[in-house]
Structure 1
Amino acid sequence: MTGRIETGHHALIVWNDNPDRRNALTPEYYATLHDALDRAGADGNVGAVILAGAGGYFSSGGDLNALATRAELPKRERAEKIEALHGVIRAIRACPAPVIAAVEGGAAGAGFALALACDIVVAAEDAQFTAAYIRAGLTPDGGLTHNLARLLPPATVLPLLLHGDSISAARLHALGAVSELTATGGALDAARHHAHRLGHGPRTTQTRIKALAHAAFDRNPDEQLDAERDAMARAQGTPEAAEGISAFLEKRRPDWGKYRK
């Protein structure tokens, strides 16, 4: 199996364990990731799902040996195989728990897309990201064009895609596409720290904030104001809000654990 789940403190760590292929994405890995996302949705004690790659490299994306045989398939079957990746991207967005990419070494092609689909991206300072599709005569998938267009300046996006050049984690951090930079070898520990903090927070409120933030890109300002109004009105009637407000007024730490189920 190329995917495995490690249970950590307030985290489910999904390892892409295919280092001989630079952690190329496989159906087995997708199945493991879906399993972890489902488990995180059902277990309120999970603060986050963390994606990591074995052997010091996040993911090289699609396996070119497998892609070399796709021309033999009908277009419908090719689309179905691409949809397997897209199903994972959609599941990351729909997961009630935040999903964190812990990037060491680098991420290329669909591996780059997978990292940017996560809610938090932690990367080692020497990691390199590459939209390598054009080098193989292919177009991007995995939502990469959408996420690059919303995260990076327009003048950066097309050169990155059309040349297939690498962009450093430091540059992406400066542009706001990477959440945190770490020393080499430190991405997973930093991701675990995020998961620990999230695991001690108000789960229902976190889930609603994640949904609001993701939906903001698909709504106009008035629609987002309406969504925020409705979410705030719901939040004000929840036990989490009662605990948070009481704790603030009483000058104590809120006890969110009793509401995480």
Structure 2
Amino acid sequence: METIDLTRPAEGVVLATLNRPDRYNAMTVTMFAELEDLAFTLGEDDDVRAVVLTGAGKAFCAGYDLDDADELAGLTALGMLDRQERAARGLSALRALRVPVIAAVNGAAAGGGLSLALAADIRLAARSAKFNAAFVRIGLSAGDLGASWLLSRTIGPALAAEIAYTGRFVLADEAERIGLVNKTVDDDRLLDEALSMAQLICANSPGGVQLSKRALQANMEIGSYAAALELENRGQALLTRGEDMPEALAAFKEKRAPNFTGR
């Protein structure tokens, strides 16, 4: 891929690094397409149990590359809608990955970069991290690439409104305090912390983790406790039919580590 570098630093873990450091990993049409391709490729790989997403160089992602934005005003309404939907598909596909995604945010996560970080299940921030909904500063809406939906659900509607309407930066310490990120660490420890968390995830039952993610995401979108219970009940029933639950019980009784296969 042109804009994303992939490595496998530990068993079950994929490290995806946005790789346009000279442009602060700003988003392009190519990057959106490659995010979608990446999600579909990893979704077919049963050896992948967790993904860490970060940025090369000094930034996580500076949002949409304004050099690419010059042509937007010249597109027809339907042409712009097509461009927007292609971009949204990239982030939606990443969020829909069946395995957890950890965003290791180094430096700026601005505009679409904030949306990308929000699409992850877990966010860790370096001390240098800063977040902003930059859309209003360039004449656009903060309702972009899922930000209006995810930001409100992550930090609450009032704080989301303040950040969206002002376009101000949220620095790492505040981001942790308001729940925008799970944890803030020193810059030189960010990747180690993210990879360590990914390995903790990988130590658990693949099916259990995947259906946990499905339940957490699906139950953000339903309107009743009863519907949530219905979804949870189906997930638990399915998992008892696999190999990992009996293996976990046997390992507990035998006082050993379980050998999870995901089957």
- Normalization by structure 1: what TM-score? 0.93
Q: Deviations over 1:31-86 (max 9, x none)?
A: 33333323322223222122111112100111122222211110111111111221
CA distance in 1, matches of 2:75, 2:26: 21
CA distance in 2, matches of 1:7, 1:236: 30
Change (3 A) 1:110 1:84: same
CA distance in 2, matches of 1:6, 1:217: 32
CA distance in 2, matches of 1:230, 1:186: 39
Do the aligned residues in 1 keep the contact of 2:59 with 2:108 (CA within 8 Å)? yes
Q: Deviations over 1:95-151 (max 9, x none)?
A: 121111111112000000000110111111231101111110111211001111101
Give, in angstroms, the shift of residue 228 of structure 1: 0.8
Question: Within 5 Å, which residues of 2 pair with 1:3-14?
Answer: 3-9=4-10, 10-14=12-16
Superposition RMSD in Å: 1.6
Do the aligned residues in 2 keep the contact of 1:4 with 1:32 (CA within 8 Å)? no
Do the aligned residues in 2 keep the contact of 1:37 with 1:49 (CA within 8 Å)? no
Question: Within 5 Å, which residues of 2 pair with 1:88-103?
Answer: 88-103=90-105
Q: Does 1:143 align with 2:146?
A: yes
Q: Does 1:238 align with 2:242?
A: yes
Question: Within 5 Å, which residues of 2 pair with 1:1-261?
Answer: 1-9=2-10, 10-140=12-142, 141-219=144-222, 220-256=224-260, 259-260=261-262
Equivalent residue letter for 1:114: L
Give, in angstroms, the shift of residue 87 of structure 1: 0.7
Give, in angstroms, the shift of residue 205 of structure 1: 1.4
Equivalent residue letter for 2:151: L
Instruction: Provide the secondary structure at the position in 2 that maps to 1:218.
Output: coil
Give, in angstroms, the shift of residue 202 of structure 1: 1.1
Equivalent residue letter for 1:133: F
Give, in angstroms, the shift of residue 180 of structure 1: 2.0
* Runs of 4+ off more than 4 Å: none
Instruction: Provide the secondary structure at the position in 2 that maps to 1:122.
Output: strand
Q: Percent identity?
A: 31
Q: Deviations over 1:140-193 (max 9, x none)?
A: 211001111101133211111111001122222222221221102322221111
- Normalization by structure 2: what TM-score? 0.92
Give, in angstroms, the shift of residue 20 of structure 1: 1.8
| Unmatched 5+ stretches in structure 1 | none
Equivalent residue letter for 1:239: E
Give, in angstroms, the shift of residue 4 of structure 1: 2.1
Equivalent residue letter for 2:4: G
Q: Which has the higher contact order (CA 8 A, sep 6+)?
A: 1
What is the number of equivalent residue pairs in this alignment?
Answer: 259
CA distance in 2, matches of 1:7, 1:123: 21
Instruction: Provide the secondary structure at the position in 1 that maps to 2:153.
Output: helix
